[in-house]
Structure 1
Amino acid sequence: MKLTKLALGVTVASLSLAACKQEAAKNDGAAATTTGETTTTEVSNDVVYVNADTLLANYDLFKDVKTRLEGKAKKAEADLKSKATAFEREVGQYQQSAQGMSNEQRAVTEQRLARRQQEIANLNQSESNRLMSEESEEQKKIYDKVEAYLKDYSKDKGYKMVLSYSRGNSAILFGDPSLDITQDVLKGLNEAYAKEKEAPKAEAKTEEKKK
């Protein structure tokens, strides 16, 4: 099962394009110097971007979720294949013995096989829906974690907007590499996830010591 890529279009703080063009002129002249008609203004890099492809390919939480969902999908597929194979055997047995049955016996058997066939089809649909629903929920959780992290990260770094770049599926045709914060964000996300994974183990050790 393929986990759909997240659209990491995350905006931070109260944003507008106008907010991205801040004047840094200050009364003390530290940020702006005016001589006659010439004005020099320092503008900080308050808009950065994240490469969504790289982020998802290397975010440990995403990889773990993808592996878990693929495992569930394979198990569901194997169960359905087993039921389908058993049904095919039943059909084959019926075809071999149908001539020796009465009309009533054939009708009863065919009705039973039809119900069985419908049950398998319904199970296939319900399993597909269940896995799709679970995938959607996991995507939302990942999105929420990334968004929450980027909000704190941007507040700390002073960024006003974090854009998402994905090759072939992005409004960003070019971005200066100096504005790419992917690796820094990825490092922070993986460190935070590692701590989350270790938390239950630490709690278990604490409970064990209390006993």
Structure 2
Amino acid sequence: MKKLSLILCGGLLALGVISCDKSGNKETASTGASTSASSSGKRTVYVNTDSLLANYQFYKDAQKEFENKGYRLQVDLGQRERALQGELQAIQQRAQTMTQADLQAADMMLKKKGSELQQYSQQKQAALAEEQAKKMQELYANIREYVKKHNDENKFEFVLGYTLSGGGILFADDSADKTKEIIEGLNKEYAEKKGTTKK
């Protein structure tokens, strides 16, 4: 599931900069000589996307769900492959007593089943990938919606996605870090939604 984590982290960085404030709010956040306010006086803050993924319960649940689905698919495909292998071995054991026509028919049948298994595998993996993509879109939508709601109170001009493993931001002042409160808010909303769904 490392692939899912990397895709999601890359996708969060693709959220990039969310422009949030058109009101001209002049609130600033000073940290000694440095400031997180832009030249127009509007504030810029960031969210550590690594921490967001590590601590957002929606993402952790989604990751676990797809690990389980991926595992179940591998088990299913393994069983089907072993069954086909068993049929091949049974034919090989009887090969000396079979006519040429029977051998050809058995060979064609095994090739057809092998092709069907390959098709089945591709369809199931594609369906799982599509489901993951939808879950990623839901993740991005949850984050965007929450950040927009959160910004109604705070009036930030930009909320940047920051990661220690790369990306466009080389340094981020801790005073502009809103990761913890964004995570807490997202988890609270998610817990409320989960509670409503279960009822």
TM-score per shorter chain, which class? 0.7 to 0.9
Aligned to 1:27: none
Q: Percent identity?
A: 30
Aligned counterpart in structure 2 of residue 137 of structure 1, from 127, 130, 134:
134
Matched-pair contact (CA < 8 Å) for 1:47–1:179: yes
SS of 2:18 mapped into structure 1: coil
SS of 2:156 mapped into structure 1: coil
Aligned counterpart in structure 2 of residue 163 of structure 1, from 155, 160, 165:
160
Aligned counterpart in structure 1 of residue 169 of structure 2, from 169, 172, 176:
172
Structure (1 or 2) with the greater helix fraction: 2
1 CA distance for matches of 2:48 and 2:93? 61
Q: How far is the alpha carbon of 1:166 from its aligned partner?
A: 1.4
Q: Which runs of 5+ in 1 are unaligned?
A: 25-41, 205-211
Q: What TM-score, normalized by structure 1, do the two folds share?
A: 0.79
Q: Which runs of 5+ in 2 are unaligned?
A: 27-38
Number of matched pairs? 180
Aligned to 2:118: 121
Aligned counterpart in structure 2 of residue 64 of structure 1, from 61, 64, 67:
61
Aligned to 2:20: 13
What letter is aligned with 2:49?
A
SS of 2:169 mapped into structure 1: coil
Q: How far is the alpha carbon of 1:94 from its aligned partner?
A: 1.0
Q: What TM-score, normalized by structure 2, do the two folds share?
A: 0.84
Q: Which has the larger radius of gyration?
A: 1
Q: Is residue 95 from structure 1 mapped to residue 92 from structure 2 by the alignment?
A: yes
Superposition RMSD in Å: 2.1
